[in-house]
Amino acid sequence: MEQNTAPYREHNRTSLTKEKLKQGFLDNLYFIQGKFPTLASRNDYYLALAYTIRDRMLHRWISTATNYYESGARTVCYLSAEFLMGPHLGNNLVNMGIFGMVKEVVEELGLNFEELLAQEEEPGLGNGGLGRLAACFIDSLATLEIPALGYGIRYEFGIFEQTIVDGWQMEKTDKWLRNGNPWEVPRPEWAQEVRLGGHTEQYTDENGRLRVRWVPAKIVLGIPYDTPILGYRTNTANTLRLWKSEAPESFDFEVFNRGDYYGAVDQKVTSENISKVLYPNDEQLSGKQLRLEQQYFFVSCSLRDMLRVLAIQNIPLSRFHEKFAVQLNDTHPAIAVAELMRLLLDEYLVDWDDAWEITQRTFAYTNHTLLPEALEQWPLPLFASVLPRHLEIIFEINSRFLDEVRIKFLGDEARLARLSLINEGGERYVRMAHLACVGSHAINGVAELHSELLKQDVLKDFYELWPEKFRNKTNGVTPRRWMILSNPSLASLVSDRIGNGWVRDLEQLRQLEPMADDADFRKEWWDVKRANKVAFAQYIFKRTGILVDPESMFDFQVKRIHEYKRQHLNVLHIISLYRRLKENPNLEVPPRTFLFGGKAAPGYHTAKRMIKLITSVGEVINRDPDIRDRIKVVFVPNFNVTTGQKIYPAADLSEQISTAGKEASGTGNMKFSMNGALTIGTLDGANVEIREEVGAENFFLFGLTADEVYALRASGYHPYDYYNTNPHLKDVIDLLRGGSFSRGDADLFRGLTDGLLHHDPYLLFADFQSYVDCQEEVSRAYLDRDHWTRMSILNAVRSGKFSSDRSIRQYCEDIWKAEPVPITLLGQNEEPT
């Protein structure tokens, strides 16, 4: 068919004049929602607005797809079991540069713009940092005009919603799709079949060659749902492609004809289960069959989708790795190594050596954790029952790989056992990190320290084998969502002084450094922060009924609740400060509000008790008439992208207090710093680099280094000694043990305190005094408002390195070898008719 898209440009549904936007909005309310303003609900209005914006994204999306098709350009495929996108509407308005105009349009229609934005249920398809990183990365890929697809799972239930009842976390299912999702387009024509279970058989092909056939026990369908991902003020609209599982037929007719109606429907139910729910464990392997099925399901669909594209572009299979650069976001998609091998060997009849070369040149692997309990391993019997053919292929990969190791390290049997893809100690497991390392040409950590520790510890043997594969790619976050959208007043203060080039080139913020010495600028800066704090104080009051003083220092620790992140160290300091204030009411400390937010994995009992600890200490302190005007403790429920957008702009202090050597990078630390919060932190993850960038004098450092942690453990760590020799620490622990924060119930926190006294695996006691001293320094610094504001400004303007644009540029140059493809809009040269 003749392509003439020019007429679409000035159409009611695409034009960007205010009048046409209004017309489009009312049309969508009428023709899509089937409503008239008199009966329309807030959700109807939100959907009408969302469709009005989506209509205006389609031309870019279609043009981008056409440009990519015609250029045949190299494409980055980011495989991730999680994409923690956050709400789309506001972000799309920012990236299209029409936020202000649309706000006016909505208000002229007599509607509340903020309310409509707030109506969107965020797609919470991730646990924490790893999923949010994937979201920042696809934003940057589009902004840098790199041909890219994000591939993942369209979970029906995302991360659970957290409520706090009697101080404890309660979980509610996240029904994010219940009111409809205007941003996605299903593409059933590109559905893929995925096999599971069954067994393998050998057969001889027509050339007399022995081959293997996989006879699966069941087949499920993967339906792709596509969401456009806009670049910031570019024509690029890339795609996030999430797979939903379905039964191939609504009914199994054979079973149905036997009269087993329920049995027939049963298959449909089990097929749909695969993409039903996101596993809410971060940093802990789950070992559940359904989880392995989820991983294989989305990986298989995605690879088949790439093969489909290769075929329609007439690119020979031998050039798969030239067309696609596939990044494995942690080991969750690592089964892709075996699946691509299987597809090439069994379905396309490629020779092993050629298949292996294509595979290795296609994949690269990002590691996100140093915690041993988070490294994925699958018990062999379970693996064999879900993926029998893949297990055979993994054995073959392993046998060839170990031969290579034998040559390089003659006679080193211990090394062979350590490197093997199969863990043979006791119960046998498939080690997914090993599969990812062997099948990839590049392996990277997510901060400099983390990448070093990978080489020294978790992946040491692989480093010694293939040092050339190892890279560092320090994480970053997108300034579009985390500054422009969430902190518009700060963004306009900045743009008033230096224009808006910084939004695409965050290093430009450094032009503002001299302004730190300008008293007027400092006042404006402080006023912006103060207004953000007022807004957040109102939010807290609405959500928790707790009144907080916006004059007080807002001290935040928001992240998943985990022992290694040490929220309980923060609490120990709060108790210690509380005690000192009770003893000495004249103590000169600025008023402080300690705020916490984060979810605990539902099965992680210690983490859940840490939440109860925070709320219990808060209850006592917030009620104490001597103290409650000086310090407050608040647990902000249901920390997610939406609440994060309110939190980072309102923060004075950012708590990044993990045990050194445990946090791979952290990305919240970057969002805080960008928004002018100062960090109190250990030399862990990206804190090290943040401190380097903002200057040691603008960073509150405490605690042991990773090397010192290692040495202390090696020499024998005895937490009890710290308790016995530090009276201050003893007082704090004894208050907890005595029931002062649990209405006399000495048992409530006994598990926690005993755990610390006798094991303390994350060295809270070793770092306690250093932390308390450092917090005193923070308090003193906050009393000097001018100096604090100076430091706040320098933190923000020196955070340019932590834009995800920088991370993505480095991945493109060093790992993906991907180049920008600027998009020409279709019909650009044609006259509208």
Categorise residue 354: left if φ over 0, alpha if ψ from -120 to 50, beta otherwise. alpha
Please tell me which residue in 434, 559, 566, 806 is annotated as part of the active site: 559
Sequence length of the chain is 833
**Residue 55 vs 663, nearer CB to ligand T68:** 663
3-state secondary structure of 112: coil
**Residue 490 vs 664, nearer CB to ligand T68:** 664
Identify residue 371 by its one-letter amino acid code: L
Distance CA 569, CA 617 (A): 13
The two tokens of residue 61 are 């999306």
Alpha carbon 391 to chain centroid distance? 30
Backbone angles phi, psi at 219, to 5 degrees: -125, 135
Please tell me which residue in 56, 368, 469, 566 is annotated as part of the active site: 368
Active site residue 199: no
Active site residue 233: no
Q: Does 475 sit near ligand T68 (CB under 6 A)?
A: yes
**Segment (H or E) for 716:** none
Measured at the CA of 207, the angle between CA 203 and CA 211, to 5 degrees, comes to: 30
Q: Does 666 sit near ligand T68 (CB under 6 A)?
A: yes
Window 340-379: residues binding ligand T68 (CB under 6 A): 368-369, 374
> Which is nearest to 777 in space by CA: 639, 556, 573?
573
Is the sign of the CA dihedral 821, 823, 826, 828 positive or negative? negative
**Residue 339 vs 663, nearer CB to ligand T68:** 663
Q: How far is the CB of 762 from ligand T68 (least distance, A)?
A: 14
Q: How far is the CB of 127 from ligand T68 (least distance, A)?
A: 4
Q: How far is the CB of 155 from ligand T68 (least distance, A)?
A: 13
**Segment (H or E) for 817:** none
Window 281-300: residues binding ligand T68 (CB under 6 A): 281-283
Q: Which residues contact 449 (CB under 8 A, 6 or more apart)?
A: 661, 683, 684, 685, 688, 706
Q: How far is the CB of 136 from ligand T68 (least distance, A)?
A: 9
Q: With contact defined as beta carbons under 8 Å apart, do 443 and 811 qualify?
A: no
Distance CA 29, CA 27 (A): 5
The two tokens of residue 379 are 């018990």
Distance CA 30, CA 40 (A): 10
**Residue 616 vs 799, nearer CB to ligand T68:** 799
Window 387-446: residues binding ligand T68 (CB under 6 A): 446
Q: Give the strand pairing for 210-215 and 148-153.
A: unpaired
**Residue 63 vs 162, nearer CB to ligand T68:** 162
Active site residue 667: yes
Interacting residue with ligand T68 among 92, 327, 667, 775 (CB under 6 A): 667
**Residue 283 vs 339, nearer CB to ligand T68:** 283
Active site residue 460: no
Interacting residue with ligand T68 among 86, 87, 90, 128 (CB under 6 A): 128
Q: Does 127 sit near ligand T68 (CB under 6 A)?
A: yes
Q: How far is the CB of 128 from ligand T68 (least distance, A)?
A: 4
Q: With contact defined as beta carbons under 8 Å apart, do 483 and 506 qualify?
A: no
Distance CA 334, CA 364 (A): 10
Q: With contact defined as beta carbons under 8 Å apart, do 570 and 657 qualify?
A: yes
Interacting residue with ligand T68 among 129, 182, 333, 800 (CB under 6 A): 129
Q: How far is the CB of 677 from ligand T68 (least distance, A)?
A: 17
Please tell me which residue in 291, 671, 790, 806 is annotated as part of the active site: 671
**Residue 116 vs 447, nearer CB to ligand T68:** 447
Q: Which residues contact 318 (CB under 8 A, 6 or more apart)?
A: 354, 358
Active site residue 368: yes
Q: How far is the CB of 671 from ligand T68 (least distance, A)?
A: 11
Interacting residue with ligand T68 among 397, 664, 704, 797 (CB under 6 A): 664
Active site residue 559: yes
* Count of residues near ligand T68 by CB under 6 A: 19
**Residue 128 vs 479, nearer CB to ligand T68:** 128
Residues 692-731 vs ligand T68: string with x where CB under 6 A? ----------------------------------------
Q: Does 665 sit near ligand T68 (CB under 6 A)?
A: yes
Distance CA 791, CA 669 (A): 16
- Active-site residue list: 368, 559-560, 565, 667, 671
Q: What residues make contact with ligand T68 under the rule CB under 6 A? A: 127-130, 133, 281-283, 368-369, 374, 446, 475, 663-667, 685
